Structure 1
Amino acid sequence: MIIAIDENLHHIKTGLQQLGYSVVDLKENQLTDVIIYYRDSQSNIFEGNLHNSFLSGLGAESGTLLINGYGKTLEEIQEIIKNRSYSPLFTNLE
C-alpha cells in the first residue's frame, strides 16, 4: 500500500512509516492507494500543487481513499485506512 501525504502532516507521515507503511510526499504525483491531505476551514483543497496531485493520483477506477488529516491523530488515520472509510455506512443490521 502506498500512501501520499501532505507536507503539513509530517508527524503523521513519520508515524505511518514506523508502522511499516510506504509513504510518499503528496507533491510527488504518484498513483497511490491513499491520499492524506491537509485542509482546514481556511484552505482550498484544489489550489496549486495539491490540485495537480489529485488529478494525477486519481482516476475513475483508482479506488484511492481520500483522508483529510487536519485535526486527526495517527490512531484515527490508521483506523480509517484499515476500514477504508471514515465510518460504517450501515450499523446494527440484523
Structure 2
Amino acid sequence: MKRIAVEQGLEDIKSALESRGYEIVDYNDGGHIDAIVYRSIYDGLKNLNNSVDSNAYGAILINVNNKTIDEIQQIIETRRYENLFI
C-alpha cells in the first residue's frame, strides 16, 4: 500500500485517496512516504526537509492545483506528471 502525506486542509483529496486504498500519513509520522500532496500556496514546503523523515527520500511532490483526483492517482501510480515532449 502506498503511503501518501497530504497537506492539512485538503480533506477532500485525503478522503478520496483513502477510499481508493492509499494509506494517508502525516509529514511528521516518520517512515517511508511515496508521495506528498500539497497545493501551491502552501508555505510549509520551504521547510519540508526539516519535517519529513529521511526515509521519505524519493517521494514525489504533487501540486493539486487544477488536477482531478484521477490525475493525482495517475501521478502517484506512474510517479510522473506528463510527457513534456508531446
Give the TM bin, normalised by the shorter chain.
Answer: 0.7 to 0.9
Q: Deviations over 1:13-59 (max 9, x none)?
A: 10110111001234x353411000111xxx3x4x3x4444x213275
CA distance in 1, matches of 2:18, 2:25: 10
Percent identity among equivalent residues? 38
**Is residue 2:34 matched to residue 1:33?**
yes
Kept after mapping to 1: 8 A contact 2:30/2:53: no
Q: Which amino acid aligns with 2:38?
A: Y
**Is residue 2:68 matched to residue 1:73?**
yes
| Largest Rg, 1 or 2 | 1
In structure 1, the gaps of 5 or more residues are: none
CA distance in 1, matches of 2:64, 2:73: 11
TM score, norm. by length of structure 2: 0.75
In structure 2, the gaps of 5 or more residues are: none
Kept after mapping to 2: 8 A contact 1:12/1:73: no
CA distance in 2, matches of 1:64, 1:51: 15
1:89 deviation in Å?
A: 5.3
**Is residue 2:17 matched to residue 1:16?**
yes
Give every structure 1 segment of 4 or more consecutive aligned residues whose post-TM-superposition deviation is greater than 6 Å: none
**Is residue 2:23 matched to residue 1:2?**
no
Does the residue aligned with 2:9 lie in a helix, a strand or coil? helix
TM score, norm. by length of structure 1: 0.69
CA distance in 1, matches of 2:65, 2:9: 9
